[in-house]
Structure 1
Amino acid sequence: MAYYSIQGIQLTDLAKQFGTPLYVYNADKIREKISVLKSCFSNIDLKIKYACKANTNLSILRLMRAEEVEIDVVSPQELELALLAGYNGSQVTFTPSGVDFSEIEFAVSKGAIVNLDNLSVLEKFGQKYGTSKGCLIRIKPHIFGGGNEKIMTAHPESKFGISIHQKAEILDLVNKYGIKIIGLHQHTGSDIKDGKTFIDAAEAVFEFAKDFKDLEIIDLGGGFKVPYAPNDPGVNMEEVGAAMSNAFQEFCQKYGKKLTLWVEPGKFLVSESGTFLTQATVVKRDPVKTFLGINSGLNHLIRPMMYGSYHYIFNASNTDEAKQEEYRVVGNICETDTFSFDFKGKQNERLLNEVKEGDIIAMANAGAYGFTMASHYNSRFLPAEVLVDGGEARIIRMRETMEDLVRNQI
């Protein structure tokens, strides 16, 4: 049973060794996803930029660097983490949204490539750097795509990117200050499983690119869907890779030179690597339903409550399917913090192998936007993190203590 162990180590043994709540990551799964991406894009110059907001643990970043995956960051702090992990500035792309220009200056000072997403920042960049520094522009292609409205980023009302309808204003600034635009970028959203959405967005970028003569890069973002349950289909990367590669080759021929295609997967690379381990604290048989309480909450994994996202949940302590029961899986936070949502974003019950208090309750697809979105709500400690690599498990983030919680308070 693949879900019950990682590289031959039982989840229950990991919980016993490191305690719960616990994020566990499978290094082999990350390498597998990197390999899939590299193999699905053919006859083009491809560069993978890991969107590290999905998981910024230094050990994960070092693993990405060792696999020759570069990095996309969205804050000065993520940039600093990338440098600590061994990246040099030129391997980092800084793609912020609505930040003060001082953050752009900081990124440039570290040698990062900046990706600008509004006209105000573009003009300030021109005034400050003129022709001396190149940059990317993030455009908004007015494409609808993504799992739900909270993770769609390319539609007309999205805050991200400069609208494709503002090309004239962009070109005015580029010409006024001699700004060297080395790349165009777009990101449609997350959980996209069909190639058509990517191609529609790509075609919008290709059309937009005709008036920019110094391009070296086309960055089509990420958003490739991952499977969330044993029978849930993910994106067909062979199909998407082939379609995007062909479209990119055709564009390069029309443009008159070979460019580099960048993709920015975050969730695709790390989501399936992660398993979140918790412990059953109470089985509460209510007249309406049976609640399964665990020693965690939305403070540790907010995706279900924030997005109505689905996580496959199972009882890692009991592999016997002979006796199962429906449970509403809930947390210990003083707030409604349900973990069990269906694929339509509605709270539901999950059919689990019989649960007893003390059992280890595991949640799959916890490698992306799990720990990075965790908080100290209710003044509870953040979970520990463990990486399994080469058949061995090692702690990569210590469990917090009360001293950590009050360290910066005065």
Structure 2
Amino acid sequence: MNLQFNTNEKGNLEIGGVDALELAQEYGTPLYVLDEMRIRDNYQRVEQAFSSEYSDFKIFYAAKANTNLAVMRILEQEGSGIDAVSPGEIYTALLAGFEPERILFTGNNVTSEELQFALDSGVRINLDSVSMLERLAGLDNAEGTKISFRVNPMVGAGHHDHCITGGELSKFGVMEQEAVDVYKKAKSLGFEPVGIHTHIGSGILDPEPFKLAVKVLMDIAGRVHQEAGVEFEFIDFGGGLGIPYTPEEPVLNIKQFASEIVALYKDKLSEYGIDSPTMCIEPGRYIVGDAGYLLTRVNTVKQSYRKFIGVDAGFNTLLRPTMYDSYHHILVVDKPTAQPSQNVDVAGNICESGDLFARNRPLPNIIEGDVLSIMNAGAYSFSMSSQYNSRPLPAEVIVQEGKVDVIRERETYADLLSKQNLPLRFFK
């Protein structure tokens, strides 16, 4: 079983030296909990695995996984860069202390106003289409800007169809066959193209698709270098490193993964006579996924046509099971090692039939008032959350060596309406 967790002397689930049951009692539920040291450890594991094989290596954290300022600040301290996909993520990264040159903006279907924001912010701009290139060329102070392109290498991988971002069905990137011409056009428009980028999907545990994408992108980069005369400052292979969600899934051997990827990278650099550009990857889930927990209290045990365990969280707090049919392991906080004694459905409190965290899941005996921990909830939980059904969003806390800090306040009912305006004519 690959799922790892700690317990304290009471037998309760412990997160960062803090009793999870006490967290639920003090801060209420639903509650997001982040383990600071786990985030740091995950980052350092990736950084060390790759930099030991290739010294000019850089991580750009995929901010869309979790944009809490505390998380961003931790990664700024660790030396990470930021993979930003929106102006909002650029704004957040700058506020967290990242210098503009440590931020790579890779948007898709962005407006000209968003491009201008990125340009004015001084961040690196990674273009997704010819349209973006042409519109960027028409903006103020664009000439001479260093840019890169996202290329679709016709290789895709991921844990769900919606997470595969390469191949003929993908909306992302310029086509492989137009890459050379796009770089030539960029130079003719007065830009300085210095990078190339791809991203094939997320939740990848098998290194083979990633290795294939590296090979294909390096072949494209080789042609761009030789035919368009581009000297690359960086080559970015995107993110997608997966974590095991089910107890049976394997843990990605990051040292072996890094060794195989870097060896292929070096071979291709030599084959095409490319100098030694910075090698970049963009992990998000791998860094924060298993560092997060969603604590939720059981409010209803209902024997209907099936047995339902009803909780006070819903897909507005963790969308992945509903959106991707994703598995998240569930523990009872005060008996995390208890053996299953029943098969139940764990249902949320949203008025939708798809609001289920688990279907027919083997779990121990559960009573109303129990607190459950939904594991591996650090990535794509709050960042995909909503106020659907007019439910205020939960609080977030971060724990480290027994210390707890609130890093996002729980919303109130008033927060639901804070940006609404009722026209005066409705009062006449």
Which residue, 338, 344, 348 being the options, matches 1:331? Answer: 348
Aligned equivalent of 1:237? 254
More moved, 358-367 vs 188-197: 188-197
In 2, the alpha carbon distance for the partners of 1:319 and 1:235 equals 24
What one-letter code is carried by the residue in structure 2 that aligns with 1:30?
Answer: I
Contact kept in structure 2, 1:280 and 1:292, CA below 8 Å: yes
Which residue, 6, 9, 32 being the options, matches 1:23? Answer: 32
Aligned equivalent of 2:322? 305
RMSD value, Cα: 1.6
Deviation readout 1:27-59 (Å, 9 max, x if unpaired): 111111111101211133110000101101001
Aligned residue for 2:38, secondary structure, equals: helix
Deviation readout 1:241-276 (Å, 9 max, x if unpaired): 001111122223333311101100011100000000
In 1, the alpha carbon distance for the partners of 2:123 and 2:135 equals 17
In 1, the alpha carbon distance for the partners of 2:337 and 2:113 equals 57
Contact kept in structure 2, 1:331 and 1:337, CA below 8 Å: no
Q: Kindly report which structure 2 residues correspond to 1:192-341, keeping only aligned pairs within 5 A, or say none.
A: 192-210=204-222, 211-212=224-225, 213-253=230-270, 254-286=272-304, 288-319=305-336, 321=338, 324-341=341-358
In 2, the alpha carbon distance for the partners of 1:394 and 1:202 equals 40
More moved, 61-70 vs 314-323: 314-323
Deviation (angstroms), 1:168: 4.7
In 1, the alpha carbon distance for the partners of 2:90 and 2:243 equals 26
In 2, the alpha carbon distance for the partners of 1:30 and 1:89 equals 23
Q: Kindly report which structure 2 residues correspond to 1:107-186, keeping only aligned pairs within 5 A, or say none.
A: 107-128=118-139, 131-186=143-198
Structure 1's unaligned 5+ residue stretches are 342-347
In 2, the alpha carbon distance for the partners of 1:69 and 1:322 equals 40
Aligned equivalent of 1:49? 60
Aligned equivalent of 2:14? 5
Contact kept in structure 2, 1:329 and 1:338, CA below 8 Å: no
Which residue, 82, 96, 102 being the options, matches 1:91? Answer: 102
Compared CA separation, residues 44 and 250, structure 1 to 2 (3 A): farther
Contact kept in structure 2, 1:328 and 1:338, CA below 8 Å: no
In 1, the alpha carbon distance for the partners of 2:187 and 2:196 equals 16
Deviation (angstroms), 1:360: 0.2
Q: TM-score, normalised by structure 2?
A: 0.91
In 2, the alpha carbon distance for the partners of 1:363 and 1:308 equals 15
In 2, the alpha carbon distance for the partners of 1:200 and 1:9 equals 43
Aligned residue for 1:243, secondary structure, equals: helix
Aligned residue for 1:349, secondary structure, equals: strand
Aligned residue for 2:356, secondary structure, equals: coil
- State whether structure 2 residue 420 is matched by structure 1 residue 409: yes
Aligned residue for 2:399, secondary structure, equals: strand
More moved, 353-362 vs 2-11: 2-11
Question: Percent of counterpart pairs with the same letter?
Answer: 35
Which residue, 366, 383, 386 being the options, matches 1:375? Answer: 386
In 1, the alpha carbon distance for the partners of 2:123 and 2:275 equals 24
Aligned equivalent of 2:363? 352
Deviation readout 1:286-317 (Å, 9 max, x if unpaired): 2x321000001111111100011110011113
Aligned length: 403
- State whether structure 2 residue 87 is matched by structure 1 residue 70: no
Deviation readout 1:86-127 (Å, 9 max, x if unpaired): 112111111111011221111111110011000111122234
Deviation readout 1:338-396 (Å, 9 max, x if unpaired): 4344xxxxxx2111121110100110010000001110101001010000123211110
Structure 2's unaligned 5+ residue stretches are 8-12, 422-428
Aligned residue for 2:94, secondary structure, equals: helix
In 2, the alpha carbon distance for the partners of 1:399 and 1:208 equals 48
More moved, 166-175 vs 27-36: 166-175
Aligned residue for 2:151, secondary structure, equals: strand
In 1, the alpha carbon distance for the partners of 2:116 and 2:350 equals 40
Deviation readout 1:55-101 (Å, 9 max, x if unpaired): 01001100010111111111111111111111121111111110112
Aligned equivalent of 2:426? none
Contact kept in structure 2, 1:20 and 1:279, CA below 8 Å: yes
